[in-house]
Amino acid sequence: MNVRRVGQTGGSRRRAGRPGPGRKTLSRDRILEAALRLVDAEGIDALSMRRLAADLGVNPMSIYHHVSGKDALIAGLVEAVFSEARPPTPDEGTWQERVRQSARVYRRLVRAHPNLVLALLADAAAVSVGIIQIAEPVYAALDDAGLSPLIAAHAADTVADFVHGFVLGEVANPSGQWDIGPELLSRTDGHQAARVPTMRRIFESLAEQGAQYDYEAAFEAGLDILVRGIEGLAADARAGDADRSDLAS
Amino acid sequence: MNVRRVGQTGGSRRRAGRPGPGRKTLSRDRILEAALRLVDAEGIDALSMRRLAADLGVNPMSIYHHVSGKDALIAGLVEAVFSEARPPTPDEGTWQERVRQSARVYRRLVRAHPNLVLALLADAAAVSVGIIQIAEPVYAALDDAGLSPLIAAHAADTVADFVHGFVLGEVANPSGQWDIGPELLSRTDGHQAARVPTMRRIFESLAEQGAQYDYEAAFEAGLDILVRGIEGLAADARAGDADRSDLAS
DNA sequence: ACCTGAACACCGTTCAAGT
DNA sequence: ACCTGAACACCGTTCAAGT
């Protein structure tokens, strides 16, 4: 955890010359740790100041001495989750492979605490902190691809947006069905079904071949599209350079 | 609104032969309408059964006669928002333009009630209902592009995930800064900045040319990448077909 | 400095009672 | 059938008081 300071293992080390009177003293880190454990185990709705205090064996009001309120508590939680992780930064392979690897790492980071994903994605500041963890190798890869600064920024945002949307789908629908599969189509009456002939045909075809939804495959398929698309933009940029060379010569 | 039945304009039409005693009678639709108005005006946190009852001039418990609880209320709200809209379905232009147009329409649908976006995206069932509203033209376009059923499904999901992630960013950060802009980079100390040289260079370059973040441009740039990527998959599919023809001949 | 108890103004929901 | 009042078990947070 260790949100603010680093190099302090836990609450077990007593302060020099001043042994805690009742054993462990309350601290921001101890609070965040207990809160995260509670959220992971029972969901974000189970997190209340009073319940958290009970878990810590402390008066509810004591918590307010270390965090200013519940909103700040959740913000601290989200920040801690994104700050604690130092994901490995890919630095070898083609730029395509580095983009893919960064997206995989980022997905794992966002998914690390499923019950916190919603609060996490709703917190713009936290998302910035999370993105900066993995953004440098993405930008380096996009730079290697030959994109302009503006297009590189847009491409990096698009990859991040895809990961956010994908993880949201994963945690909202952990069973892993197709968003719109045979069940939903069959629920619609004949009138409805007649209005979506292509979907009906495609999903019937998927059902025939016994295709099961697979989040890993779906994520990789999304990366296929994104990387292919970025390749296209890079080709445009090269063509643009060539045009300008032609004009100059 | 009119979640279940259609063709009933409001609460003003009294039932035949039975005039309401105290004027307007409570109904599921009236409840959802008031709840949506409250959420739009004051945010999702302002929505409480007691507050809603007060807005309706009714006892809090009366609401429970029409919806089973608060969770069901929010689910009903989300369902209503996605069901009420019959977005225009693009059916002319290239398949690329139809995919883009569908994504734009879907973005507008998801964004229609910003304070509800989080609840909306967290509700897998609601998202399915929303997607089915705009999915047919997407699937038709992807079919025209020549994608296999499985790849078409993955591509449609990827477009949806991108829209979800994009809108989430929009509502979480409505001011419209870069997720990771000069501010965040300058907040980091020299040690940090040295670790993200490419990002630093790219954002300095953007700042020099006075680039402002623009959600519309960013969304279109995302669509550029997605459509380009799908074009690449379609080219693969054609090449695969050609290969098989070669083998067969 | 750090913690606490009591209190305030809210919650969602159950249940038995009204008409 | 539809609505209500009182009650229960919770909330987040303020404030004055303890050590």
Mean pLDDT of B197-223: 93
Q: Which residue has the higher pLDDT, A227 or B182?
A: A227
Verify whether the Cβ–Cβ distance B180 to A131 is below 8 Å: yes
Residues 6+ apart with CB under 8 A from B17: none
A162 and chain B in contact, CB less than 8 A: yes
Reported as a single tens digit per residue, the pLDDT across A193-234 is 678 899 999 999 998 998 888 999 999 999 999 999 999 999
Nearest CA-CA distance, residue A161 and chain B, Å: 4
Reported as a single tens digit per residue, the pLDDT across B139-160 is 999 999 999 999 999 999 999 9
A116 and chain B in contact, CB less than 8 A: no
Going from the C-alpha of B178 to that of each of A29, A229, B167, the distances in angstroms are: 30, 21, 14
B222-B85-A225 Cα angle (round to 5):
20
Please give the pLDDT value at position B249: 43
A186 and chain B in contact, CB less than 8 A: no
Name the nearest CA neighbour of A63 among A99, A92, A35. A35
Quick one: pLDDT band at residue B9, thresholds 50, 70, 90?
Answer: very low
Nearest CA in chain B to A142: B198
**What is the 3-state secondary structure of A68-97?**
CCHHHHHHHHHHHHHHHCCCCCCCCCCHHH
Mean pLDDT of chain A: 84
Mutate to test the interface with A, among B138, B162, B175, B186 (most CBs of A within 10 A): B162
B21 burial via Cβ count (<10 Å: 0-12, 13-18, 19+): exposed
Mean pLDDT of A162-178: 89
Q: Which nucleotides of D are covered by protein (CB under 7 A)?
A: 2-6, 10-16
Of A124, A128, A232, the CB nearest to B228: A232
Q: Percent of chain B beyond pLDDT 90? A: 61
Reported as a single tens digit per residue, the pLDDT across A33-53 is 999 999 999 999 999 999 999
Verify whether the Cβ–Cβ distance B179 to A152 is below 8 Å: no
Please give the pLDDT value at position A131: 87
Phi (first) and psi of residue A150, to 5 degrees: -65, -45
Please give the pLDDT value at position A128: 87
Name the nearest CA neighbour of A198 among A185, A216, A187, A183. A185
Residues 12-51 of A with CB under 7 A from strand D: 47-51
Residue A27 CA, nucleotide C3 C1', distance (Å) = 12
Kindly report which amino acid residue has its CA closest to the C1' atom of nucleotide D4: B59
DSSP string, chain B: --SS--S---S-SPBTTB--TTSSPP-HHHHHHHHHHHHHHH-GGG--HHHHHHHHTS-GGGGGGTSSSHHHHHHHHHHHHHHH--PPPP-SS-HHHHHHHHHHHHHHHHHTSGGGHHHHHT-HHHHHHHHHHHHHHHHHHHHHTT--HHHHHHHHHHHHHHHHHHHHHHHHSTT---TT-HHHHHHS-HHHHHH-HHHHHHHHHHHHTTPPP-HHHHHHHHHHHHHHHHHHHHHHHHHHHHHHHHHH-
Going from the C-alpha of A179 to that of each of A185, B10, B25, B113, B145, the distances in angstroms are: 11, 33, 37, 22, 21
Nucleotide nearest to A49 (CA to C1'): D12
B52 and chain A in contact, CB less than 8 A: no
Q: Please, are residues B99 and B93 in contact by the beta-carbon 8 Å criterion?
A: no
> CA–CA separation, A170 vs A125, rounded Å?
22
Please give the pLDDT value at position B21: 42
Mean pLDDT of A164-189: 77
B239 and chain A in contact, CB less than 8 A: no
Query: Residues, chain A, total?
Result: 249
